[in-house]
Amino acid sequence: MADKAKFIEELSARYSPKGDFIILGKGMLDGEVIPEVNVTLPLKTINRHGLIAGATGTGKTKTLQAFAEQLSHKGIPSLVLDIKGDFSGIAEPGSENAVITERYAKTQLSYQPQAFPVELMTISGEKGVKLRATVTEFGPILLSKILELNDTQQSIISIIFKYCDDKGLPLIDLEDLKKVLQYVTDNPQGKADLANNYGSIAPASLGAILRSIVSLEQQGAAQFFGEPSFDVEDLLHQRDGKGVVNILRVGNIQSKPQLFSTFMLSLFAEIYMTFPEEGDSGKPKLVLFIDEAHLIFNEASKTLLAQIETMVKLIRSKGVGIYFITQIPGDVPENVLSQLGLKIQHALRGFTAKDRKEISKAVENYPITEFYKADELIQNLGIGEAFITALDEKGIPTPLVHTYLISPESRMDVLTDAEVSDLTSRSALVAKYEQTVNKDSAYEMLANRMEQATQNTSTTQKSRPVKEEPGMFESVMKSRAGRTFTTTLAREGAKFVLGMLGLGGRKR
């Protein structure tokens, strides 16, 4: 039996910040809840990032929900990437039951059912705030990484951006980009202008770029690129003193990994470029929660992984914290894991040799404790219990504590379709971003220019018609590689339709 008095003294001293804080639960010792030990997090260290891990069904999502609620109480907004689609209930008040009554009797805290301000968001056309960005906002380097282009192709994209900037051609959506590529390779005036002032484009490179653009469009990116582009300042709202919980529903990430990578890169870059330096201001400006993070890391491109590593290191100074929710700590790359100050570890199951290795690895990352046999207890944590270690106000890791977590005060279930419709119909942000703005951009300007050139040519040429040589754009798509690409798209499209009808064959 551990020394209870010593436990209370040591843990209370390390989990009693002088500044403002949030509470996650009460300490436990030998299976008993110790009400005297509050497990708290100082607001000033929440931008040091964190991890919520645990096996399926151990309560990670409910911990995330309670965490977001506590932040909202302090006026701190959050953005939750809800991959399973089970987080939206935070918009409605919870209801007390026998389990919650027992839990709060043990913690000696009060349970107050309540709803929290919520904005539902989407990048794939569902109900909610439409998140968009323009091609210009991405820039040539970021766009080239998303399209997974090589150095030569990336230099061509940079030339195209420079050409459009010099000629006053706005690049809003992917149609604009494709139209410019067509203009500078098929149109005599555009082709000559590009070759004389910027350099020519090889047909092979053009074909590779076009295939990458079409591949991105197949994942739904056509509706992501456009105007009005989303202003990240709209993530920072409060209502009645509570921080708004922004929920991005991305349940189809596995079928659209490139689109999701596009969004993530855009979001991180925009936040970093837009938000001013905060330093250690006392509390975070925004907290990002990435649920089911193992799906992100498994499906993400190398570009996204590198960008996440970079942003985790840099974005703290902008007053932004990033929290990953996953099954085992090993799901998170080592370079990212080493940057995470808070670790909330639910139970892990040691069914296989690999599982036992993951448990040993997780325990090795905890501060040494005399109060627990961590390698044994981690496999026997109950639902709503977790190991926690964080950073105190001086940035020093706190002792490992077996924590009896608080329950969410909002509904621990999803919103109904009717509730989603009602919530989005009342949202000012939904109305703000609902309608796509179709301004005159590169597509319209070049289409008019090419049409005018065609009309001028037809009035001056009254001799017998001469067969026009196919343009580079057309040649690429009619080439053997182009035909193969078109056939592949048709075949994959057919497979997709058959899959929707339940007639698809076996999947990889």
pLDDT of residue 489: 46
Domain boundary residue among 194, 224, 254? 224
**DSSP-based three-state secondary structure for 326:** strand
Q: What is the CATH number of the domain that holds 265?
A: 3.40.50.300
Please write the tens of the pLDDT for every residue from 393-419.
Answer: 999 999 999 999 999 999 999 999 999
What is the residue type of 344?
I
pLDDT of residue 52: 96
Q: Are residues 124 and 258 in the same domain?
A: yes
Calculate mean pLDDT across residues 344-356: 86
Calculate mean pLDDT across residues 175-194: 89
Q: Are residues 279 and 327 in the same domain?
A: yes
Range of the domain at 38: 1-132+235-415
Q: What is the CA radius of gyration of the chain?
A: 27
Among the residues of 275-407, which ranges form H helices? 293-299, 302-314, 334-337, 353-364, 374-377
Calculate mean pLDDT across residues 153-181: 92
Q: Are residues 278 and 397 in the same domain?
A: yes
The answer to whether the predicted template modeling score (pTM) of the entire model surpasses 0.85 is no
Residue 43: pLDDT band with limits 50, 70, 90: very high
Please write the tens of the pLDDT for every residue from 52-63.
Answer: 999 988 999 999
- Whether 387 has a pLDDT exceeding 90, the answer reads yes
Residue 125: pLDDT band with limits 50, 70, 90: confident
pLDDT of residue 456: 64
Mean pLDDT of the chain: 84
- Give the range with max mean pLDDT: 261-265, 345-349, 404-408: 404-408
Calculate mean pLDDT across residues 29-51: 95
Q: Are residues 259 and 356 in the same domain?
A: yes
Strand (E) or helix (H) holding 330 = none
Q: Is the Cβ–Cβ distance between 94 and 410 less than 8 Å?
A: yes
Q: Are residues 352 and 328 in the same domain?
A: yes
Residue 424: pLDDT band with limits 50, 70, 90: very high
Q: Of residues 29 and 471, which shows the higher confidence score?
A: 29
d(Cα 133, Cα 141) in Å, to the nearest integer?
A: 15
- Whether 500 has a pLDDT exceeding 80, the answer reads no
Calculate mean pLDDT across residues 344-364: 86
- Please name the residues in contact with 255: beta carbons below 8 A apart, sequence gap of 6 or more: 219
Domain boundary residue among 373, 391, 415? 415
Phi, psi of 324 (to 5 degrees): -105, 135
Three-state SS string over 49-93 comes to CEEEECCCCCCHHHHHHHHHHHHHHCCCCEEEEECCCCCHHHHCE
Asked whether residue 466 is assigned to any structural domain, the reply reads no
Asked whether residue 45 is assigned to any structural domain, the reply reads yes
What is the residue type of 457?
T
Q: Of residues 1 and 209, which shows the higher confidence score?
A: 209
Asked whether residue 430 is assigned to any structural domain, the reply reads no
Q: Are residues 106 and 241 in the same domain?
A: yes
Residue 454: pLDDT band with limits 50, 70, 90: low
Q: Are residues 96 and 200 in the same domain?
A: no
What is the residue type of 337?
L
**What's the number of domains the chain is made of?**
2
Q: Is the Cβ–Cβ distance between 295 and 82 less than 8 Å?
A: no
- Whether 360 has a pLDDT exceeding 90, the answer reads no
pLDDT of residue 446: 76
Domain boundary residue among 224, 243, 264? 224
pLDDT of residue 24: 96
Q: Are residues 102 and 174 in the same domain?
A: no
Task: Give Cα separations from 471 to 117, 174, 182, 467, 478 (angstroms).
Answer: 55, 20, 9, 12, 10
pLDDT of residue 1: 60
What is the residue type of 200?
S
First to last CA, the chain: 52
Q: Which of 142-156, 160-174, 212-226, 439-453 has the lowest mean pLDDT?
A: 439-453
Q: Are residues 44 and 103 in the same domain?
A: yes
Please write the tens of the pLDDT for every residue from 293-324.
Answer: 887 787 667 777 887 888 888 899 999 999 99
